[in-house]
Structure 1
């Protein structure tokens, strides 16, 4: 992997994306692609199974979005990941404190962590450091 990970932010909330980008810039992470829903990222994943340089190291995935929510994205991701030759860490982000959402997220092994928004600089530092240490 390069010195800076490729991060996909899949979130329909502009304020959340702004905060995440601002914090990532403080960490000198500028290799970030934003999506307002999860359909385009799924297409990119399915079109690039063997092109790991086009695939993210980290996905910051909002739970509640239009078209496909975070859980629906994960169902499709679990199918795609079988053909992908890259370890992609997924962090589910939400403003929901629902124990049902937390339990459901924890039951999906492909989700590295469930984080309540707003994501902090400290959390992002830990996430980026984990990927860089791989």
Structure 2
């Protein structure tokens, strides 16, 4: 499958990182997935890599992480120059059932959508690729 996206997964759980990477490879035929362990590393990755990536960027952002969680990431992301945020979609990931937290994050201007963990990769693929 031809992809027009670069992918960044911001997730602290190594098992979830591995499973996401394997499922993306198997179901969506995507082998190039960038993974960082927390929001601070995610901001650093965006600052160092976004200008050299021509594709649209999809960020899968976990909510609960040490060092810098998903909400803190969004606050720092908002401060970045517009060029770094161009053609980027952020999907929040969580196993949380806290509806107030979910609605608050969904209302963030940078958040495209909320996905429950474990992520259903096939359904996610349908959201980003019309030919699935």
TM range (shorter): 0.7 to 0.9
The 5 Å alignment of 1:46-125 reads: 46-48=47-49, 50-53=51-54, 57-80=57-80, 82-84=82-84, 86-125=86-125
TM-score between the two structures when normalised by the length of structure 2: 0.84
What is residue 29 of structure 2 aligned with on the other side?
28
In 2 relative to 1, CA 49–61 (structure 1 residues): closer, same or farther, beyond 3 Å?
closer
Query: Residues 28-59 of structure 1, C-alpha deviation per residue, up to 9 Å, x if partnerless?
Result: 10110111112122123234564334x86111
Runs (5+) with no aligned partner, structure 1: none
What is residue 43 of structure 2 aligned with on the other side?
42
Contact 1:9 1:34 in 2 (8 A): yes
Question: When you count strand as a share of all residues, which structure comes out higher?
Answer: 2
Q: Aligned pairs, how many?
A: 129
- Superposed structure 1 runs of 4+ greater than 6 Å apart: none
Q: Distance in 1 between matches of 2:40 and 2:56?
A: 15
Q: Distance in 1 between matches of 2:50 and 2:18?
A: 29
Runs (5+) with no aligned partner, structure 2: none
TM-superposed deviation, 1:90: 0.6
CA-based RMSD:
2.3
Q: Distance in 2 between matches of 1:20 and 1:60?
A: 10
TM-score between the two structures when normalised by the length of structure 1: 0.83
